[in-house]
Amino acid sequence: MGTGIMGDVVLRGQGLRKSFGLTHALEDASLDVVSGEVVAVMGPSGSGKSTLLHCMAGIITPDAGSIAYKDKDLAKMADGERSALRRTEFGFVFQFGQLVPELTCLENVALPLRLGRTARKEAERQATRWLERLEVADVADKRPGEVSGGQGQRVAVARALVTSPSVVFADEPTGALDSLNGELVMRLLVDAAKETGAGVVLVTHEARVAAYSDREVVVRDGRTRQLEPA
Amino acid sequence: MSIPHALLGLLESGPRHGYDLKRAYDERFGHDRPLHYGQVYSTLARLLKNGLVEERGIEPGGGPERKRYAITDAGVTDVDSWLMTPEKPELYLQNTLYTKVVLALLSGRSAADVLDSQRAAHLKTMRELTTRKRNGDLADQLICDHALFHLEADLRWLEVTTARLDELRKQVS
Ligand SMILES: Nc1ncnc2c1ncn2[C@@H]1O[C@H](COP(=O)(O)OP(=O)(O)OP(=O)(O)O)[C@@H](O)[C@H]1O
Ligand SMILES: [Mg+2]
C-alpha cells in the first residue's frame, strides 16, 4: 500500500480515553493522520503522548473513543486482523531497542517482509534498497550492537518503511541522538515518508525536531489541542 | 552586528572597490538584509577618517565609486580586538511575553491561550527556517540553525511557563 492520495485521512482517533489503574493517561484525545503529512505530537512528560500513539497503532485498546483505519473500526477487528494491519500498514520507530540484536542490520530491515512471507532474496533486495536510501548501506552486515546510535536509527527507519506502510509511528526517534544526527534522521524519515505517501505520527519534545512536521498537536493532561498557526 | 568591522574584515583579503565590498558582504552575510550603497560609502568614509582604511589607486575623475580601499595596520588591529571581544549574551528578562502572561492572569483571561498562540507562531517560523535550511548551502544552514536554537529556547520557556501557570496565578493575584 502506501499509495494513498495526499491529504486523505488514513487513521482517525476520536475522543480517546485510557486509564492505567487510577492514572488517567488519556482523558479526551483525538488525532487525524493524513497521508503524506507529518504530524508532531508534543507535550510535557507524562501527558499521554506515547499512550495516544499506542492506542492509534492498535498496540493497546482505549477504554473509550474510536479509532478508524480507512473507515474501518479498529475495535471491531479480530486480533489477527489487527496484528496483520500493524505488520503491513504501520511502521514503527522508537527511541532505541527496536532492532533484533542477533540479526544483521540487513536482516533486521528485511524482517517485516519475511514475516509477511516475502521470499528471502526479494526481502533482502528491498531491504538493501532502503538501507541505501537511508545512507547506511555500509552497515548492512553488522549487528545493531556494532553500529552508532545514528546509524542504528537510520536502520530502524529503513525497517519501518520497508513494507511501504500507510502510517509511520515515531516515538522520540531522535531522542538519543545529537543535533546533527537527529536532524539527519528526521530529514531522511520525512523525505522517505513523503515519497511513499505515508502519514507520520512524530512524538517529540524537541521543537527543532517538530519543525520538520507539517502540523502540531499538543497533549496536556491527556487532552489533545490542535494549534493553529497565527 | 557591526557592519564597519565586517567590512574591515572583508578588506583583509585585499583592497576592493566599494561596490565590490558590498557584493562580498551581501553574498556572505546579507541574506536577509543587503547593504545599501550609501551605507557602504558612509562607513568607508568613517573608516578612512579614523585611519582604519586608506585609498589605493585612485582612478582619474574619481567619485567615491572609483576608489579602491585597503585596510591599514590599525584596521587589522581593530579587527583583531573585535573578533576577540565576546558579544554580550542577550538577556531577555522582563520581556513582552512575560508581561502579557501576567496581564492575562490579572485580568482573568486565558494565559494558556496567550502562550499557545505564541507557541504556534514560533513553530511556524521554525518550520520556515527548517525548510530554508534544508534547501540551502552550509552558510544558510548555520545561519538558520542559530535562529532555530534561539527559538527553541523561547519555546522551552513557553512550555515551562505553561506548566507553571497555576502557581504564577496564585503569586500575581
Ligand atoms: N503501562 C502503563 N501502566 C501504568 N501507567 C502507565 C502505563 N503507560 C503509561 N502510564 C501512565 O500514563 C501517563 C501517560 O504516560 P505516557 O507514557 O503516555 O506519557 P508521555 O507523554 O509519553 O511521556 P514522556 O514524554 O515522558 O514519554 C503517565 O502518568 C504514565 O505514568
Ligand atoms: Mg512517551
Distance, CA of A51 to CA of A53 (rounded, Å): 5
Mean pLDDT, range B78-104, rounded to an integer = 82
For residue B65, the model assigns a pLDDT of 62
Contact check, Cβ <8 Å, B123/A216: yes
Q: Above 80 in pLDDT, residue B32?
A: no
Quick check: A1 pLDDT over 60? Answer: no
pLDDT for B167: 94
Nearest to A220 by CA among A20, A28, A39, A21: A28
Average pLDDT value for residue range A124-143: 95
pLDDT per position as a tens digit, A28-72: 999 999 999 999 999 999 999 999 999 999 999 999 999 999 989
Residue A111: partners with Cβ closer than 8 Å, 6 or more residues away: A100, A103, A159
Check pLDDT > 90 for residue A97.
Answer: no
Give the residues across from A92 on adjacent strands. Answer: A169
pLDDT value of position A5: 44
Find chain A residues with C-beta within 8 A of B148's C-beta.
208, 211
Query: All domains of chain A, ordered by start, with CATH?
Result: 9-223 (3.40.50.300)
Closest CA to A134 of A102, A118, A112, A156: A156
Question: pLDDT by residue (tens digit) across B44-89?
Answer: 999 999 999 999 876 665 565 678 999 999 999 999 888 888 887 7
Residue A5 at interface with chain B, using a CB cutoff of 8 Å: no
pLDDT tens per residue, range A173-187: 998 888 888 999 999
Q: What is the pLDDT of residue A2?
A: 38
Q: Indicate whether residue A213 lines ligand 1 (CB < 6 A).
A: no
A207 with B163: Cβ contact below 8 A: no
Q: Is A47 in the pocket of ligand 1 (CB under 6 A)?
A: yes
Given a contact cutoff of 8 angstroms between Cβ atoms, the answer to whether A201 and A168 are in contact is yes
The distance of A211 to chain B (nearest Cα, Å) reads 5
User: What whole-number distance in Å separates Cα of residue A86 and Cα of residue A79?
Assistant: 11
ipTM of the complex: 0.85
The chain-wide mean pLDDT, for chain B, equals 89
Question: What pLDDT is stored for residue A4 in this prediction?
Answer: 40
How many degrees, rounded to 5, is the angle at CA B9 between CA B92 and CA B1?
20
Q: What is the mean pLDDT of chain A?
A: 92
Q: What is the pLDDT of residue B145?
A: 95
User: If contacts are CB pairs under 8 Å, which of residues 129-148 in chain B contact chain A?
Assistant: 129-130, 134, 148
Entry field: residues in chain B: 173
Model confidence at B2, in pLDDT bands (50, 70, 90)?
Answer: confident
C-alpha cell at B134: 534544508
Q: Is the CB of A20 under 6 A from ligand 1?
A: yes
* CB-nearest partner of A227 from B116, B130, B152: B116
Output phi, psi for B129, to 5 deg: -65, -40
Residues A78-105 have a mean pLDDT of: 91
Confidence label for B29 from pLDDT (cuts 50, 70 and 90): confident
Shortest CA gap B24–chain A (Å): 29
